[in-house]
Amino acid sequence: MLLPESPLPAAASSPGGQARAADDCDLRQLRQLPPLDLPPRPLRWLFLDLNSYFASVEQQLQPSLRGRPVIVAPVGADTTVAIAASVEAKRFGIRTGTPVWEAKQKCRDVIVTPARHDRYVEFHEAIVAEVWRHVPVTRVCSIDEMACRLLDNENSRDAAVALAQRIKAGIVARVGERLTSSVGIAPNRLLAKLASDLQKPDGLVVFEAADLPDALYPLRLREIAGIGAKMEARLARDGVNDIRQLLGRRPRDAGHAWGGRDGDRLWFLLHGVDLPDKPTQSRTIGHSHVLSPSMRGPEPARLTARRLVLKAASRLRRKGYRARLLVLHGRFEDDKSTWRASIRLPATQDSFVILDRLDALFPRLREAGRARTGGFRLRMIGTTLAEIEPAAGEQASLWAHLDPEDPLARESRGVHLSRALDRINERWGRNAVSVGPLHGGRLDRVGTKIAFGRIPELSEFHE
């Protein structure tokens, strides 16, 4: 693998996209048009989706795995599930979420390899840098997906297809021969994403305005991003059982079936209109961990919760936020529902304040566990910092001359010490210095993992 000397930003706005902001259609203006009078819909988006990404990285790193059925799992136990499956494993019906024991039944030769999330982030950054060699990356959508808005001299069918082929070939040549990808090209990002899903592995599908909406009719409603089981049932109650029925309605009527404000938004998107994204805001920061069978008692769960909340607090400081609420949640072995409790925080990013509140909250989980028939057997533990907001300006110097035991002085010291711990662990590695004991028997490794929609920074692998 060839890694870039200085990785480019993982997500940045395309200069062309900024220059063409006025070209984005306004939903309010569209509602004033006759139903069939749509604006021009040139090819504007290229969506790249890496094929079987985690498994492909492992096959790149381990040549002995190439051409063989491989699944990536969080731990080497049959009770866990596959978080990725190679193209070869998928031919046996093995998918993400398939239990390891079931995968072994489907394919006796399947190879289970442990996940290495830090390597996946390294490859991700190399792939983003390679795409930037050809076209600006407008948005990184996940660890294995990114979207690029096309410039005016790139949005003819021939030019867009040639660009996609150069990107695909560049990734294989400069990052890794096992890193194949599927590309979708369309007038908007939703349709480009949908096109990228239609031909795997190593596919290239184009939706032009002239193809729409007829090209979508063979697809199932559930194949459209944003339509899950509940929404599919809701649409069925309104008489919509397929895409043809949804798009055959007037925009406002289709929006009524969809429900909510801007319910007709999907109608316009599926017809190829390029609508601006709705603004989003991060509201929580948290981590969870599935405990190994031997570590599901109260004390291992408590120590794991402490380590999880320290990771969340470190992310909170790195993003420049503070939190007002701490949530502790878990799932017991004999219960599919999630136990949850919360406690208020002073607006803070201080690890010591947050740990103090966690210590006050944990007895409630301990009591709930002891009351269960099988005793305290916790399968999953998680902590979340909620009601987050941008941190106020640094005011530590205002409290420099206060009594050391004054609450404001203690908070100032705690934040500075928390930041110092961040810097030490970033420089010398995870747990170079810790808050509280890490001894007392083996603990589950609480490492950084890649979640859907969030790519960890490499510094998180030192927390």
Question: Is the separation of the CB atoms in 349 and 386 below 8 Å?
Answer: no
Q: Which two tokens stand for residue 103?
A: 């995968």
Spatial neighbors of 210 by CB under 8 A, at least 6 apart, are none
Q: Which two tokens stand for residue 403?
A: 């009594």
Residue 402's H or E segment, with its range, is: none
Beta strands (DSSP E) in 409-456 are: none
Chain CA centroid to CA 282, Å: 12
Catalytic residue status for 463: no
Residue 437's H or E segment, with its range, is: none
- Terminal Cα-to-Cα distance of the chain (whole angstroms): 26
DSSP summary character for residue 222: G
Cα(218)–Cα(244) distance, integer angstroms:
9
Question: Is the separation of the CB atoms in 358 and 383 below 8 Å?
Answer: yes
Sign of CA dihedral 32, 35, 40, 42: positive
If you search the block for the tokens 């895409």, which residue do you land on?
243
Which residue in the list 122, 145, 208, 232 is annotated as catalytic?
145
Question: Is the separation of the CB atoms in 173 and 207 below 8 Å?
Answer: no
In 3-state terms, the chain is what percent helix, strand and coil (to 5)? Answer: 40, 15, 40
Rg of the chain on CA atoms, in Å: 25
Cα(411)–Cα(397) distance, integer angstroms:
12
Q: What are phi and psi of 21, to 5 degrees?
A: -55, -35
Question: Is the separation of the CB atoms in 361 and 340 below 8 Å?
Answer: no
Number of residues that make up the chain: 463
Q: How many CB atoms lie within 10 A of CB 157?
A: 11
User: 441 — alpha (psi -120 to 50), left (phi > 0) or beta?
Assistant: left
Question: Is the separation of the CB atoms in 85 and 70 below 8 Å?
Answer: yes
Q: Kindly list the catalytic residues.
A: 145
